[in-house]
Amino acid sequence: MTQTDTYDQLPDTSPMGAPLDWAWLRGAKSEWGVHPKPSPRGLTMLDIAVGKYGEVPEHPAHRSMAPRGADVDPDTVDMGYILNRKSDVWAENTRELYEEAVARQWSATRDIPWGELEELPDDVEHAMCQLCTVLTEVEMIAADLPAKWMWRMNHDFIEAKMFLCTQIMDEARHAEVFRKRALSNGGGLLISRSGSTSLLRTIMEAKTYTQATALLHLLGEGFVLDIFRMGELIAPTDVEKRIFRMCMQDEARHVAYGTMHLRYAVEHDPDVAEEIHEALDHGESVLVDFGTAPDISTALAMLLAGGAEHVEDKGFPLAQELSTKQFTSYLARCERAGISRLERTTIPLELLGIDPDTIRAAGAAA
């Protein structure tokens, strides 16, 4: 005798006369008896990806908020999702990155040694505040954009949506930490130019989520990741070093998701490659305008030089060198994502001293 047989005596109506439904107890078709084993760190999303609960369908049967693996009512409401193919949003590293994001959250209030901030020379403080102004402005796009698309994603892709939730939290923290830095050392928020907003608008107005991901994760966040890496290098005190390193870790997760999502998308739907290229054709030119905008390029050069005195002989040459590394990193990521830009990009490779063979090697290694 099975255990459910013992429930035959359960009533059909409530004491108030309302009809009762015991189907969840007697006959749900969902999988029963799974026993995922917790890993040493606890029960992770990877651990519970077992049986049909772990199978992410290429084309989900429903467009409801029913949890994947549940026994879903056939007449459940359509939520109006438009991203209903797995290749629209998925990346092979989604679950891993979600767990990593949850485990590595930090606090801009508590985990930055604000008490160790030092009074800086006026030119350096201004440059840091200008950089923080730009970063405070651009970081929230990586929260706004997923928010724009998440409610259109099929709920069977719950892990991808959960990861994007962590990204939104990360970006809120980045906006917070750069705003705090700008205001905390005798400076303040400085100049916001139209170039930043043009870049952000280009990303926000992408026609598809995959185009949006190419513009945001691969191009925009990849570029900002390199600014964070550079920021740690040029930070005038340990406080800024810590800020940039912590932000760098978060940003690298976002770039890792975007790179692997685009790779998954292109592998499962090669036609999407042209769509991505079109977005990047436009995005690259806007990004170059943003990256070479007089305010951010001068602020970075000032920080790289350690002050106004050596901005020409040290700041700009080093900025040029790092700019080459930024574009090299971006093009290598494109190769890894399966979207080689070498034959198509208008980025002046020769002028920047970028060797296409080095980029191709990065792609071949992937």
Partner 1 sequence: MDVDRISFFNALAIEMNAHPERYQVLGDADMSALIVMNGDASFCVRVDFEELHCAGVHQAEPDDPADFSLVGDRDAWQAMFDDIVAHGRATGLQTINSLALLGDRIACGGTDPMGLDKFSRFNQTLQEFFDGAARTAVPA
Contact positions toward partner 1, by CB under 8 A?
Answer: 40-41, 93, 99-100, 103-106, 111, 225, 229-230, 232-233, 238, 241-242, 245-246, 248-249, 251-253, 255-256, 259-260, 322, 325, 333, 336, 362, 365-366
Choose between 232 and 278: whose C-beta lies nearer to partner 1: 232
Q: Which of 289, 300, 314 is nearest to 130 (CA)?
A: 300
CA distance linking residue 254 with residue 300, whole number of Å: 23
Alpha carbon distance 216, 218 (integer Å): 6
Q: Kindly state the smallest distance separating residue 248's Cβ from partner 1, in Å.
A: 6
The two tokens of residue 337 are 């994502």
* Rounded least distance, CB 224 to partner 1, Å: 12
| Complex with partner 1: residue 68 or 261, whichever CB lies closer | 261
Nearer to partner 1, 180 or 245 (CB): 245
**And the tokens for 160?**
């991808």
Cβ closest to partner 1, residue 225 vs residue 293: 225
CB 93, min distance to partner 1, A = 6
Query: For residues 97 and 200, which CB has a smaller minimum distance to partner 1 in the complex?
Result: 97
Nearer to partner 1, 212 or 260 (CB): 260
- Dihedral sign from CA coordinates of 45, 80, 148, 203: positive
How far apart CA 8 and CA 28 sit, in angstroms, is: 15
Residues in the chain: 366
Closest CA to 158 of 231, 112, 90: 90
Minimum distance, C-beta of residue 234 to partner 1, in the bound complex (Å): 9
Q: How far is the CB of 333 from partner 1 (least distance, A)?
A: 8
User: Which C-beta is closer to partner 1: that of 39 or that of 194?
Assistant: 39
Quote the least distance from Cβ 249 to partner 1, whole Å. Answer: 5
Q: How far is the CB of 165 from partner 1 (least distance, A)?
A: 17
Closest approach, Cβ 228 to partner 1, in A, equals: 8
Contact (CB, 8 A) for 181 and 240: yes
CB of residue 166 to partner 1, shortest distance in Å:
12
Shortest CA distance to 217 belongs to which of 184, 158, 257, 249? 257
SS3 153: strand
What angle is formed at CA 62 by the lines to CA 99 and CA 29, rounded to 5 degrees? 85
Using CB atoms within 10 Å of the CB of residue 350, give its burial: 0 to 12 exposed, 13 to 18 middle, 19+ buried: exposed
Between 238 and 309, CB nearer to partner 1: 238
Nearer to partner 1 among residue 195 and residue 338 (C-beta): 338
Q: At what angle do helices 158-184 and 122-139 cross, to 10 degrees?
A: 160
Question: How many Cβ atoms from other residues are within 10 Å of residue 122's Cβ?
Answer: 12
Single out the residue of 219, 82, 93, 97 nearest to residue 148, CA to CA. 82
3-state SS assignment for residue 83: strand
